[in-house]
Amino acid sequence: MLPCLHGRARVAPSETVPTTPSSPGPGARDLSSFLYSHSDPCPSMSSSETDADPVRRKSLGLLGSLLTPHYGDYEVYQSIGVGCAGTASILISQHKPSRNFVVVRHIDLEPLSFQQLGEVQHEIKISQLLHHQNIACYLISFVVDAHLWAVQPLMHYGSCADIMHSAEPFKNGFQESVVAVILKDVALGLQYLHSLGFVHRSVRAKHFLIHENGQVKLSGLRSVVSMMKDGSRMKSLHGHFPHTVDNICWLAPEVLAQDLSGYSFKSDTYSVGIAALELSTGEAPFAGLPVTEIMMLKLRGHPPVLMRRDEGFLAKRFSNTFTKVVDHCVHPNPSCRPSPTKLLSMSFLRSKKKFGVLKDLLKPVVPLDTSTLRPVREFMQSLLPVPVNELEQLSIEGPWTL
């Protein structure tokens, strides 16, 4: 049996978990007010507000839990990665009062630039506005000193990219049955986002998270942008965004062109087509090419080819229904691409029912068994502030050694 998170990079606690300042200062208060400003249309929800909304609780997958905005209520069990330019630690933790396992993104706000702080604030606000079973939202977030604690449901299988990188049976991609089930949930998430006037702009395998029950949730909300302005919906968007280069393999040609036509919701459909190829072959088309060459190929209308890079670039056989989905999604003309609603009506995604439950299709990969995890006390000691009474007992007198 293959654990789903086996191949994830592990980093020593001293490298991943930043140390919290001993006492809050003016800067910490400024950061807190910046992240949760009065202009926020949906302020951070407390545990009582979260618990009072059964629809939100059910959609976020933690029905009946009571998450609290207190760092002492979370016990760290394992680090599973870093993010936000190395300033964020992604930690599997347990909310002790409810005994639910969650993922905590612990972000050191001090070294972030004003632009990076704005991105974090944007992600928090977007997450608070979205309530859907196929969108990975923060359950609660709060600031301690100059550190942000953002709590998400635990996705026991990790991301689709994690599975392909760590599980030998899927290193060259998933079977079409698995791809169909994944894309169905992704399309449902995009359908919801587009109905609210949001464009995702970062649809890719590493943002497809799989829950223990086999449900796929779309993450990567930092790149989400609204098409709404002054109460009306804009016809198109213009301009690059901070993570354009990171997502260039998945971005539509019109996003890269930056001409007068701009781009809109159909740019996400193009990314779905690229992600479908990524899921079926183990890597994204254009991967490994220089950024300038990728831009030239896309702007000249070169479509990605259903190829597998191993075994001498032998073409992999795909069904006609799958090929039709990809061809429609990556069409150079955005108006010829299907919307998520149209995508859900195509025969390849409608066949999800006959394929079965995703967690059965992923075998021998198994979800993370939280019963085997043990708390790591060193993590919490480095995360928690130093008590005031301990500070009072410190002395600067006596010998100092280096």
Residue 45 falls inside a structural domain: yes
Over 60: is that where the pLDDT of 54 sits?
no
> What amino acid occupies position 127?
S
pTM assigned to the model: 0.81
172 and 207 belong to one structural domain: yes
12 and 107 belong to one structural domain: yes
Q: pLDDT (tens digit, 9 = 90+) per residue, 62-117? A: 433 578 888 889 999 998 888 776 778 899 999 999 899 999 999 988 888 888 88
166 and 126 belong to one structural domain: no
Residue 399 falls inside a structural domain: no
97 and 114 belong to one structural domain: yes
181 and 254 belong to one structural domain: yes
Residue 67 falls inside a structural domain: yes
Q: Which domain holds residue 111?
A: 2-154+369-393
Domain holding 170: CATH number?
1.10.510.10
Specify the higher pLDDT residue, 30 or 193.
193
- Look at residue 15 in the predicted model and tell me its pLDDT: 37
149 and 209 belong to one structural domain: no
Residue 400 falls inside a structural domain: no
36 and 183 belong to one structural domain: no
Number of domains forming the structure of the chain: 2
- Look at residue 387 in the predicted model and tell me its pLDDT: 53
86 and 183 belong to one structural domain: no
Residue 388 falls inside a structural domain: yes
Q: pLDDT (tens digit, 9 = 90+) per residue, 207-229? A: 999 999 999 999 999 899 999 88
36 and 104 belong to one structural domain: yes
112 and 172 belong to one structural domain: no
Residue 401 falls inside a structural domain: no
Over 60: is that where the pLDDT of 57 sits?
no
Over 50: is that where the pLDDT of 45 sits?
no
Residue 226 falls inside a structural domain: yes
Residue 402 falls inside a structural domain: no
Between the ranges 8-17, 357-366, 372-381, where is the mean pLDDT highest? 357-366
